[in-house]
Structure 1
């Protein structure tokens, strides 16, 4: 004889179709609705599924790809693709990050996330079940997990000293929701249904390939009898294994499912009550709770991604941001994607500083090849994008502008499909960018017009930079052309440096100083193999 298992249920319902409980937190302007936007600014949400055009050039695709790996990418990627120009939104998110950076606060969220994943896993499975009794028991199990997750999460939040408006708002919302008639009724009914099913006992008689299911008639439990008979053969002095982590394996094969269906016929009252419960409570997940469960993954994913870099001693900060002031200052920052690879290879990450003040708008970076110029340009773009997301950025301190869009221009291979040469294609792409950019844009240019002569390169590059400066956008331009650093009071010259005692060794430090006139000469010498190091290697006896 065997007892029926008690299951906890689920019903696959589109979260978008759910409505919040009106008693939980209300619907006024001050009510918590999302952990990504402060109350009253939810309308600024404008998430995009596709990657921004700048993603690949700035290696942001690598950063986001690593952050969301093995998570719910369909939910998280649109959040990472959508920076916001609102200072209030950015500071709201920065405060949430600040709370979550405290281990005692961060630790409660993975537990809640794991519980909610169990709820949704049950619900997805329930949507695939054809038999009513099985589907309803899985819905009941999901509801039980949900009620337990809310209660445990609320207890954990209540024990913490929260500072951010976002997490305080969440705590207040959950406290109201847990006291709401709808949730109290859900918890009461769920507990009652589980208790009723736990009292359902039945027996099975096996005869060949036939199974007979009947009500339990006080027959002896053969499992207990067998264990008692073989007790003498048990080994003593061996520590029992620890409890196994529960698996999300709640499926039944067709035989088990048929047995459960027979059991439901033997106990029509209990299973009829369950059917009525599911018809009323099947849509039990609160919309705000569901949205929070999805959105908190954005914070957790990013903090998990940068944690190894922090452990290695690399600095991160919450930048001062502005949507109006273009004064920019960054200390000891670095390319986040490159730093991740370097640390994986036990290398050393070099940080750099930069500043734009007063009328200054454009950093013009020159210097020898392989000196870190392109990495510096990517860092510049990454900082502004991550700041718009509200994320901590690489560096000891930062003051950053919130752009409306980031335009990048990096070298592309020729595309034979568009029937344009490399120079024409470059001109077309830059023309489109210049027409689309505004005074609130950020521009990252990396070695433009390298496919033409020196005179044409200087002329075309000057035209492009003057157009950018006339618009009053801010940005960075990597070039070998020293004259570009002095075309306006809005340009700032920065140079990648080498070891004075060993000019062939790059320091990867980019410093603010006038261009020394050697960058283009060095690039030509390297191209034709006539640098000091290469000449010495050829004439060495």
Structure 2
């Protein structure tokens, strides 16, 4: 059994620090997506993993195999249930550590160890029944079984169970006379436990749905007062051997390591306790990388939006997605209880390298560009993508250039800043990179924009990356066979109405002008009608 296997990085691949620049997360709205993904699970500190872009098919395939396992309801349910129960246990341990009475704290931790062992074994049973197929999760399951059957853990479990049984079986008599309390070993002729339980049973039953809430509150409410503490000490004096064994057990298995540094990741702080199997904490955290994202997708899928695990294109520079959409926009629309976004297809194959997107403003071009970038980024970190079906090129990096406001404090003009950033990215990029360009060179004249765009096109062709380029210069789409024209469509009957559908269609430069002319009553038929109406009758 190996305890160092990672569920994010295959053997031989070093763990990677966050890599993409802020522009990529801002332009593609990835920061919005991952903030929503991480919000329900703050204790696992996942955001840096979403920012680490491996750009390697070995890493992606490792993650996709695990992801396909987690898409099986039984396996996903096993890990989700485990995490939920572990979160409850973590809260209880944090509260228990604050208890001031030693013997009370020892008993609470004794119960916590029993609960942990139950949660641990339940996970193993569920995974064994579910039969994961990925090499990584099979290795994890083997490691869990090995640890669960280890002699030392069996000894701990057996000792804890025996101590709980002995403590639960303790019987003693207590007599209160004024302010004087006396205790001695049980000597009553009859056991009144059953009578007491029967008499007060109606007060013990929790209303439906409140059991879990009461369980979480119990430890926080159980600090003993001075009288109770003295009684507990007296009980320990009556049964010194049992409580001595409890103290030894606590010291060995439950006393947190005083030398252990407090982990910055809250979910990993349980590693301070000797009874915890530390690799399981790390596996649980790594699995949240997948589970939190699947939970984010669930309401979108329930609303009819598709997602899929994409096929990887490593040799051929092919990108194809059916019924794709901007994930950030979709999540925002669902939160606002609006209709789903319009789904679009994306396709580049053969010698095609550049999708040139043009058409009327507010027609969905920028959303289409974000969708293209999101597909490749999510696929590049091994997660599902927002599409019905997809085959995506494995890129090594994504570079984005979207329209930005001019920085009033900068000594450079907006155009100069844009050109410098473009040059910097072109110097770093490789033929395996992807560029997402949106409305470049708006801040200059039309002639300069044409010149700069043609020069950039030459550089891109020499480098040979995949490119999606949103531009008002639709003549760029007719510059060669490697450029594909994508046109933002308008309604066939109301040409000033956007459909947010984008199709492979030649750009003639007239669609937007015609829609504006019709909107203001200036197209040819409308002008003829006006002229006829204005002419004097013969």
Question: How big is the alpha-carbon RMSD for the aligned residues of Structure 1 and Structure 2?
Answer: 3.4
> SS in structure 1 opposite 2:167?
helix
Q: Which moved more, 1:257-266 or 1:463-472?
A: 257-266
Per-residue deviation, 1:306: 1.3
Partner of 2:220: 251
> SS in structure 1 opposite 2:392?
strand
Deviations, residues 146-189 of structure 1 (Å, cap 9, x unaligned): 11011111111222243333332222222222222232122112
Partner of 1:286: 277
The question of whether the paired residues in 1 share the 8 Å contact of 2:7 and 2:286 is answered with yes
Distance 1:116 1:224, change over 3 A: same
Of 236, 244, 248, the residue aligned with 1:272 is: 244
Distance 1:205 1:518, change over 3 A: farther
> SS in structure 2 opposite 1:390?
coil
Partner of 1:295: 286
- Looking at structure 2, the residues matched to 333 and 84 of structure 1 have their Cα atoms a distance apart, in angstroms, of 23
Partner of 1:513: 505
The question of whether the paired residues in 1 share the 8 Å contact of 2:5 and 2:136 is answered with no
Structure 1 residues 152-231: aligned runs within 5 Å? 152-200=122-170, 212=181, 214-215=183-184, 217=186
- Looking at structure 2, the residues matched to 147 and 132 of structure 1 have their Cα atoms a distance apart, in angstroms, of 23
Structure 1 residues 371-390: aligned runs within 5 Å? 371-390=363-382
Per-residue deviation, 1:491: 2.4
- Looking at structure 2, the residues matched to 501 and 507 of structure 1 have their Cα atoms a distance apart, in angstroms, of 11
Distance 1:324 1:281, change over 3 A: farther
Partner of 2:258: none
Of 103, 107, 111, the residue aligned with 1:137 is: 107
The question of whether the paired residues in 1 share the 8 Å contact of 2:44 and 2:285 is answered with no
Distance 1:213 1:55, change over 3 A: farther
Distance 1:368 1:241, change over 3 A: closer
**2:323 aligned with 1:332:** yes
> SS in structure 1 opposite 2:165?
helix
> SS in structure 1 opposite 2:360?
coil
Of 284, 300, 321, the residue aligned with 2:312 is: 321
The question of whether the paired residues in 2 share the 8 Å contact of 1:334 and 1:379 is answered with yes
Partner of 2:416: 424
- Looking at structure 1, the residues matched to 314 and 281 of structure 2 have their Cα atoms a distance apart, in angstroms, of 31
Partner of 1:70: 40
Distance 1:270 1:324, change over 3 A: farther
Partner of 1:532: 518
The question of whether the paired residues in 1 share the 8 Å contact of 2:401 and 2:438 is answered with yes
- Looking at structure 2, the residues matched to 97 and 510 of structure 1 have their Cα atoms a distance apart, in angstroms, of 31
Per-residue deviation, 1:365: 0.6
> SS in structure 1 opposite 2:450?
helix
Per-residue deviation, 1:222: 8.8
Partner of 1:369: 361
The question of whether the paired residues in 2 share the 8 Å contact of 1:213 and 1:259 is answered with no
**2:437 aligned with 1:470:** no
> SS in structure 1 opposite 2:220?
coil
The question of whether the paired residues in 2 share the 8 Å contact of 1:495 and 1:510 is answered with yes
Partner of 1:5: none
Q: Which moved more, 1:371-380 or 1:443-452?
A: 443-452
Q: Which moved more, 1:49-58 or 1:396-405?
A: 49-58
Per-residue deviation, 1:117: 1.4
Deviations, residues 269-324 of structure 1 (Å, cap 9, x unaligned): 33332232233223121122111211222222121211222223322221111444
The question of whether the paired residues in 2 share the 8 Å contact of 1:482 and 1:519 is answered with no
> SS in structure 2 opposite 1:44?
coil
Of 215, 226, 232, the residue aligned with 1:263 is: 232
The question of whether the paired residues in 2 share the 8 Å contact of 1:50 and 1:78 is answered with no
Distance 1:26 1:334, change over 3 A: closer
Per-residue deviation, 1:481: 0.7
The question of whether the paired residues in 1 share the 8 Å contact of 2:20 and 2:53 is answered with no
Distance 1:257 1:76, change over 3 A: farther
> SS in structure 1 opposite 2:130?
coil
The question of whether the paired residues in 2 share the 8 Å contact of 1:318 and 1:391 is answered with yes
Q: Give the length in aligned residue pairs.
A: 498
- Looking at structure 1, the residues matched to 226 and 406 of structure 2 have their Cα atoms a distance apart, in angstroms, of 60
Structure 1 residues 99-138: aligned runs within 5 Å? 99-138=69-108
> SS in structure 1 opposite 2:36?
helix
Normalising by the residue count of structure 2, what TM-score does the alignment of the two structures yield?
Answer: 0.82
Gaps of 5+ in 1: 1-24
- Looking at structure 2, the residues matched to 261 and 326 of structure 1 have their Cα atoms a distance apart, in angstroms, of 76
> SS in structure 1 opposite 2:216?
coil
Partner of 1:408: 400
The question of whether the paired residues in 2 share the 8 Å contact of 1:49 and 1:77 is answered with no
Partner of 2:259: none
Q: Which moved more, 1:420-429 or 1:287-296?
A: 420-429
- Looking at structure 2, the residues matched to 147 and 348 of structure 1 have their Cα atoms a distance apart, in angstroms, of 45
- Looking at structure 1, the residues matched to 107 and 137 of structure 2 have their Cα atoms a distance apart, in angstroms, of 34
Deviations, residues 94-119 of structure 1 (Å, cap 9, x unaligned): 23322322323322222111122133
The question of whether the paired residues in 2 share the 8 Å contact of 1:422 and 1:451 is answered with yes
> SS in structure 2 opposite 1:296?
helix
Partner of 2:26: 56
Per-residue deviation, 1:374: 0.4
Deviations, residues 188-241 of structure 1 (Å, cap 9, x unaligned): 122123223323456777789x7857456457999977777789xx89xx9975
Distance 1:263 1:215, change over 3 A: farther
- Looking at structure 1, the residues matched to 175 and 224 of structure 2 have their Cα atoms a distance apart, in angstroms, of 14
Deviations, residues 237-273 of structure 1 (Å, cap 9, x unaligned): x997577225322125654487347624534433332
